[in-house]
Chain A
Amino acid sequence: MGTILRLHDLSKAFGAVTVADALSYEVQEGEALGVIGPNGAGKTSMFNLITGTLRPSHGRVEFDGRDVTTMSPARRSHAGIARSFQVPQPFSGMTVFENAMIAATQSAGLYGHHAERFCIEVLDQTELLPKANAQAASLTLLERKRLEMTRALCAKPKLLLLDEIAGGLTEAECSSLVQTIKSIHAGGVTIIWIEHVVHALMAVVERLIVIDFGKKIAEGEARAVMESPEVKEIYLGIEADA
């Protein structure tokens, strides 16, 4: 088990807003890492830095043993990084199946029947198969979140980035989603999961990092981190039961 992702001293600011401040950490192959932090802390920006939609002003991103800091988002996707969006962003004029096929053909590089069969398998796993021929624009929130995950999985990622995928769901929806994520993780995919719904996160991740103002303020075994004074201070009154 090697290191699959290494962020080294990443910094980025939008004017006065610092979204990454000398951020460094490593993720091991097969691991599930949770990320928490207050609103606007720079968590989504950190994903943008990893996928390449945002370039750091300082520092390096290494993925799978390579420096990918200057690599385009498309090439990073070929290399094995896939993400879901906090606000689902499907190709809304296309069907669920076509959305999946874009990732399977373009990112995972599958062809024809192989691609189709693979998409069907993933749709089955993410429980969207009955909706395969529906227009993406017609989906409910839960279905859109599942489509985000489907598309990411159809890219056959080595590293799966989930951005608040449980946010806005009912308790029942949330627990079924947690089951799906557990099964994906059990299949060997490395996961980084940003989540405000802490109890969902704690059901999956082993390790946690905490980000505030773009800085890593805590890192370690999930439960220990949740009990730490830094986290208690930030999350005072929020999710105290997790």
Chain B
Amino acid sequence: MDWLNAIVQGTLLGGLYVLFAAGLSLIFGVMRLVNIAHGDLIVLGAYLGLTVTTTVGLHPLAALVIVVPAMGLIGYALQRGLLNQTLGDDLLPPLLVTFGLSVILQNGLLELYTADPQKMDAGALETASVTVGGLTLGVLPLLTFGFAVAVIWGLQWTFYRTGLGRAFRAVSDNQDIAQLMGLNRRHIFGLAMALALAVTAIAGILLGIRTSFDPSIGGGRLIFGFEAVIIGGLGNLWGTLAGGVILGVAQTLGAKIDPGWQILSGHLAFLIILAIRPNGLFPRIAA
């Protein structure tokens, strides 16, 4: 029962990692951009949520209504104003520029909000739980996992069932041909980043309800997101869901053996999977 409990709790924890990873996966899939600032953008989402909850007095989940579109706008502006200029045959410029962006975001948040840990107050939601078959499950982790599945499903649906998704796949497949077919890749990339940061806003707010955060924690969230994407296989959204869950389960199982092993065992699981399957479990894009 204990082990089953650890696996179930790990699965729910994995939901948060899926939300960290979904934006990364989307951006890499559409434009082969590795966004080093992704973790800091998650933290930015959390701080925006904090500002909205404290100034407007909204519940953190209600704040999503404001923070999700706000992050989407920031994403579009960021892509059109900065990141589009870095894209080309060379992989280094986008890495350097997003690394720089990460530094700027961290220091900007430090100036605005100080280094003091913050947390969003979600009231009763934080401690509420339900009992299912002898297992006690937190409502917040359940909700997070529900968001994760909904986000992956929604992105998958967008990709394969809408005109926008068709455009995403066309530029991802061959940018030059897509432009000859009348697609403006700069605009399409802007929309992809908007969508990615909208998801990032959800990740940031759920993170900020679950734990305390400060401007320095972006890097760790980036690593978890990366690991989930790579375990699942590049370019495969359902794979990213599996990757996040595997990472979460590995962490809770490790913690069960020794509480100090939680983070380490997640990284170990990542390394083992990478050693056995260098392209991840369900790759769509050849490495």
Contacts and interface: CB of A to CB of B under 8 A. Distances in A.
A11 B184 CA distance: 27
A98 B177 CA distance: 14
B126 interface: no
Nearest to B185: A74
B163 interface: yes
A93 B159 CA distance: 12
A94 B166 contact: yes
Contact of A74 (B166, B169, B172, B179): B179
A96 to B, nearest CB: 13
Nearest to A103: B181
Contacts of A105: 163, 166
A102 interface: yes
A94 B173 contact: yes
A106 B182 contact: yes
A89 B181 contact: no
A89 B182 contact: no
Contacts of A53: 176, 180
Interface in B134-185: 163, 166-167, 169-170, 172-174, 176-184
A151 interface: yes
A107 B182 contact: yes
Contacts of B182: 74, 77-78, 103, 106-109, 155
Interface in B175-203: 176-184
A92 interface: yes
B27 to A, nearest CB: 17
Contacts of B180: 51, 53, 73-74, 77, 82-83
A107 B180 CA distance: 8
Contacts of B181: 77, 102-103, 106-107, 151, 155
Contacts of B173: 91-94
B183 to A, nearest CB: 5
Nearest to B284: A93
B169 A89 contact: no
Interface residues of B, number: 17
A191 interface: no
Contacts of A151: 181
Interface in A55-108: 72-74, 77-78, 82-83, 85, 89, 91-94, 98, 101-103, 105-108
Nearest to A98: B166
A91 B172 CA distance: 9
Nearest to B235: A93
A89 B170 contact: no
A225 B217 CA distance: 73
A91 B169 contact: yes
Nearest to A76: B180
Contacts of B170: 91, 94, 102, 106
Contacts of A83: 180
Nearest to A112: B163
Contacts of A73: 176, 179-180
Contacts of A92: 173
A100 B132 CA distance: 50
Contacts of A85: 177
Contact of B183 (A89, A94, A106, A108): A106
Given A77-B182, A102-B183, A89 B163 contact: no
A105 B181 CA distance: 9
B169 to A, nearest CB: 6
A233 B278 CA distance: 57
Given A91-B173, A94-B173, A102 B166 contact: yes
A55 to B, nearest CB: 14
B174 A91 contact: yes
A89 to B, nearest CB: 5
B183 A93 contact: no
A102 B179 contact: no
Nearest to A93: B173
Nearest to A78: B182
Given A91-B173, A98-B166, A108-B182, 8 more contacts: A73-B179, A77-B180, A77-B181, A78-B182, A91-B169, A91-B170, A92-B173, A105-B166
5 contacts: A53-B176, A72-B179, A83-B180, A91-B178, A93-B173
Would you list the 4 A-B pairs with minimal beta carbon distance, nearest first? A107-B182, A106-B182, A77-B182, A91-B173
